[in-house]
Chain A
Amino acid sequence: MPTLSRADNSILGRWWWTVDRWTLGAIGVLIGFGYIMMLAASPAVAERIGSSRDIFILKQVFFLAAAGGVVVAVSLLSPRSIRRVAIIGCIIALALTVATMFIGVEIKGARRWIALPGLSVQPSEFLKPCFAVVAAWLISEGRRTPRFPGKLLAIGVFLAIALLLKSQPDVGMLAVISAVFFAQLYIDGLNLFLVAMLLITAAFGGVGAYMFFPHVQRRVEAFLHPGNGIGTDYQPRTALEAFGNGGLLGRGPGEGHVKDVLPDAHADFVFAVAGEEFGMIVCLIIIAVFGFIVLRGLLRLLKEQDLFVVLSCTGLVAGFGLQAFINMASSLQLIPTKGMTLPLISYGGSSALAVAIGMGMLLALTRRRHHADAA
């Protein structure tokens, strides 16, 4: 990377000296792992998708590069622009999510995707970062401007999104967005009594999902009673065997078997592939990178003055961290199996771009600036 003088006053120069370079580096590391895991998963996935391996690799190379570009491009924006982008993005994503109900591709019993040439997009993926920023804006604006019902509006948008996701159905995404919104309310200083109430509601929501969604019920059953049913128990057990097979140092690149037997090895179980081929140490590094991004993101907010920045960054970081946690924990059978990609590491263009937008926003909002620059 060319060295940039502190005196460099260009857009890039200013960006370089104000952006959180540690977090940027960590995102770069994740994209690097994404390339490695793409190579590991490619033979099995290429066969499953039915396209040639080369096309598959080229696509993912392009998407990961694009994701890196998006991170940088979005992080160049000012907080004000970020807010605008988020509002527009949230509207588009909401519209597309509605559209999935009518023109969506049905995959495994759920309408979540919209097919574009060369890529199928899951609009709710993009909804997540955009809604986090929008909700933060509404809440902080509600505090700043009297008589502006920011919190109520935010809750209204959230309920609309929740209704949409429930009818798709995409319980996993609903849970993440709910958790993100809840985290924002909590950080905003929600009454602890209400916090407790919401937690209880969430618990009831989980029970409700268990009762009303058969596939949720099956997965929870499989989690609570391993070895009960052959079908549902098979995936998490195989993933655990992959970790056991990998051990401390792994079997070596290409030596994994789990990717041959698990349908979603390249996405939902990519962490198990990493565990089998590269071992515990590399898995620890991956966890450490995610943990670093999340903890650094949250702790850096301690010095932040602007409530909008605090809340939106909290939402972005929480969404990112929760997604990573859910993916890794369900691979390890710490929680019931929930299909969710590992940010930037799992295969998939739509997911990588959505995460990149979120991370770009995070970087943009946490750039060092004059106090007055804030929205």
Chain B
Amino acid sequence: MTDAPPANAIPRETPAWRRGAATGDAVPRIEMVRVTQPDLQRRGALEKTRGRLVYAAFGFGLLFLAVIAKLADATILQPLAPHRPEKSIEALFTAPKQSNSTMAAAQRAMITDRNGQILAISLPTVAVFADPRQIIDPADAAHRLKQVLPRLNEDEARTRLSDTNRQFVYLERQITPREQLAINNLGIPGIDFRPTEQRHYPMGRTASQVLGGTDVDEHGVAGVEKYFDRRLFDDNTPLRLSLDVRVQAVVRDELSKAIDFFQAIGGCGIVMDVRTGEVLAMVSLPDYDANDYRKAIDDQKFNRAVTGMYEPGSTFKLQTASMALDSGIVHIWDKFDAAHDIHIGRFTISDFEGKHRILYLPEVLAYSSNLGAARIAETVGGERQRAWLRSMGMFARVGIELPEAGLPIIQPASAWKEIVTMTVAFGHGISVSPLHVVRGTAAVATGVLQRPTIVALPPGDRPPAGAPVMEPAVADTMRRLMRLVVTDGFGKQAEVAGYYPGGKTGTAEKVGKHGYKRGFKENFNVAAFTSVFPMNGPRYAVYMMVDEPHGNKSTYGYSTAGWVAAPAAGRVIARVAPMLGMLPDTQDAPQINQALYIPLQPARPPAAPRGPVTAGSPPAPAPRPALTLPVSPLAPARPIARDPRHEAASSPAPAAAAPSLAAR
């Protein structure tokens, strides 16, 4: 307190009363006040100053109140979402578009098999990271983390935590909530968590090449994940594949056994619904765990079923035979010279274990005669052959929804000389993927070409119509011929009682960089068996291929398809068919076999022309010569059991088949 009286010393006591004056004119009792002029001015100025001080204080009060209001707004009323520094650091390294799409989509859609079994799923998880600059004792922190996170590499973690030049290091990309709690309880400063998502493949190696895989940011890098990358991001509903994990497992099992047994380097197996083109199983060995895509080697990632281009070998004789029959130039009773090797230029075509005689057309298939097939193709001609193969889809990608699907290796039209026509007739001088062969085989058995698909047909949808590629009568004959290969030809080991499979073996030498790949003692083969069952009502195509098999004692040293692939295909059919709801029909075997019968040496009907129509003559339009055998009058023996009770009552079904039926 200043000791001086206030400058504007208004007296507080009652004014002195002056005689004769009004009360309002009262003056202060202190009358002897001498106030100098400058003093008065100063007092007046100070008075003004005081007023303005109050205004100034008021102004400052307003400023601080504004700060308080803004502070309340920023902290509790409208707090901005906490922005972690690591995000901005990461943003420096990832393309903005990628990070946007990662942020936008809540969760990548599931991938399931046709029965809803989960093949790929995105799980929310947590990554643990550290800011090394905040770590006080890296060694101690790493040691304590190791206690609660046993899979942590302590040495590596210590190195990372010691790197104080960085502000962000990952310690573990995914941890469980329990581990997160434990780490949090350690209370190590500088350790933090961020939510991430992890693509998980619960079935591991199942269909790994089909599924492909994703990178760290959940972007598809192969297989279905890549092909449907956008769809899986945009649409959260599960993507239902046509695969059936049960069938997939059986095919992988049998293929794996065959590969082990014949010490092969790999193989592939396909099961396809011939009516819809849906692929139920697609196996390529060796394969990988889809959870570890980044660790997989190229040979494991290689999908032999669609990327591998192999000479189809003798399986192509089905194409040659159906082409010839459908053209009308060649008849089922025609005979072809397989007694003499064919020499064209420096090439020689000969038969493996040939009969060295004239062969009827069915015999050409049953005994897999290269010479016979070459003669048939020679009769039909190269131009027709090309047109046929093109119509069977052999000249283009197979059309399945996999980015890995490759282009066949085809001779150009200019180089399609007579020798090419002859070799392609038995599947050499052309390379197509196994799936091409499967589709071609299915088309031969049904007469209709379907586009293979890996996506399940939506329930209730009509199967796609497909493209008719041959007369139904020709397809009927081809079914008999395919069945003949199994009953009387090289494919005997594929026979499964009650399921009437038909097919064709194919052993092709592998093409390397410098022509055919030949070893010191034996050639390197690809042994394949392509089949469809049941032949009295085709439902499924089964294809098994073993890459570079080696014969052993049990096969008398043979490594050909009849010994290697056919038995595997038979076992697949035997195990898969019941799963797919088909019961073996052994009761009606005589009738069915009779209906599918075709003689190895069919007799020529009396009115029919002698020998094939020569290539030069017109291509014999209608009327087509009647077949010696009527079109099979029988309905499919027992394709699908619509009524389990009826099935159980009417046929002595194996007990094993019943549960799978009930399960379906």
Interface residues of A (CB under 8 A from B): 43-44, 47, 143-144, 183, 186-189, 237-238, 240-241, 243-248, 254, 257, 260-261, 275, 279-280, 283-284, 287, 290-291, 294-295, 298-299, 301-305, 307, 310, 314, 318, 321, 325, 328-329, 332-334, 368-371
Contact = CB atoms under 8 A, between A and B. Distances in A.
Contact of A307 (B42, B80, B133): B42
A87 to B, nearest CB: 23
A189 B53 CA distance: 10
B49 A188 contact: yes
Interface stretch (B70-78, B116-124, B302-310): B70-78
Given A302-B54, A332-B71, A291 B64 contact: yes
A287 B75 CA distance: 14
Nearest to A183: B56
B134 A370 contact: no
A244 B53 contact: no
B45 interface: yes
B53 A310 contact: yes
Contacts of A279: 75
B61 A291 contact: yes
Contacts of B52: 186-187, 189
B75 A244 contact: yes
B71 A44 contact: no
B50 A186 contact: no
Interface string B68-112: 101110111011111111001000000000000000000000000
Given A244-B81, A260-B85, A314-B56, A305 B4 contact: yes
Contacts of A314: 53, 56
Binding site secondary structure of chain B: helix
B641 interface: no
Contact of B2 (A241, A280, A368): A368
B182 interface: no
B56 A186 contact: yes
Contact of A240 (B53, B64, B72, B74): B74
Given A302-B54, A371-B3, A47 B133 contact: yes
A222 B381 CA distance: 78
11 contacts: A43-B134, A186-B52, A189-B49, A241-B82, A243-B74, A243-B80, A245-B83, A298-B57, A301-B50, A303-B2, A333-B70
A318 B75 contact: no
Contact of B164 (A47, A243, A304): A47
Interface in B158-178: 164, 167
B67 A329 contact: yes
A321 B60 contact: yes
B151 interface: no
B76 A280 contact: yes
A329 B75 contact: no
A332 B70 contact: yes
Nearest to A257: B85
Which residue, B42, B48, B66, B70, has most C-beta atoms of chain A within 10 A? Answer: B70
B189 interface: yes
A261 B85 contact: yes
Contacts of A143: 42, 45
Interface string B512-548: 0000000000000000000000000000000000000
Contact of B67 (A302, A318, A334): A334
B56 A290 contact: no
Contact of B60 (A291, A328, A333): A291
Given A244-B75, A261-B85, A307-B46, 4 more contacts: A43-B134, A243-B71, A246-B75, A291-B61
Contacts of A241: 80-83
Given A44-B133, A279-B75, A298-B57, A303 B1 contact: yes
B80 A261 contact: no
B389 interface: no
Contact of A299 (B4, B42, B53, B134): B53
A283 B71 contact: yes
Contacts of B133: 43-44, 47, 260
A316 to B, nearest CB: 13
Contacts of A287: 64, 67-68, 71
Given A189-B48, A244-B74, A370-B3, A295 B61 contact: yes
A259 to B, nearest CB: 10
Contacts of B74: 240, 243-244, 275, 332-333
Interface string B390-403: 00000000000000
Contacts of B189: 254
A290 B56 CA distance: 15
B7 interface: yes
Contacts of A186: 52, 56
Nearest to B50: A302
Given A143-B42, A189-B48, A307-B49, A334 B75 contact: no
A111 B591 CA distance: 106
A302 B189 CA distance: 51
B131 interface: yes
A328 B67 contact: yes
B265 interface: no
Contacts of B1: 303, 368
Nearest to B65: A291
A310 B134 contact: no
A261 B49 contact: no
Contact of B63 (A43, A325, A371): A325
A333 B4 CA distance: 46
B608 to A, nearest CB: 84
B75 A280 contact: yes
Contacts of B60: 291, 294-295, 298, 318, 321, 325
A275 B75 contact: yes
A290 B2 CA distance: 25
Contacts of B79: 243-245, 247
Contacts of A321: 60, 63
Contacts of A183: 56
Contact of A290 (B6, B54, B64): B64
A321 B64 CA distance: 9
A156 B167 CA distance: 51
Contacts of B64: 287, 290-291, 294, 325
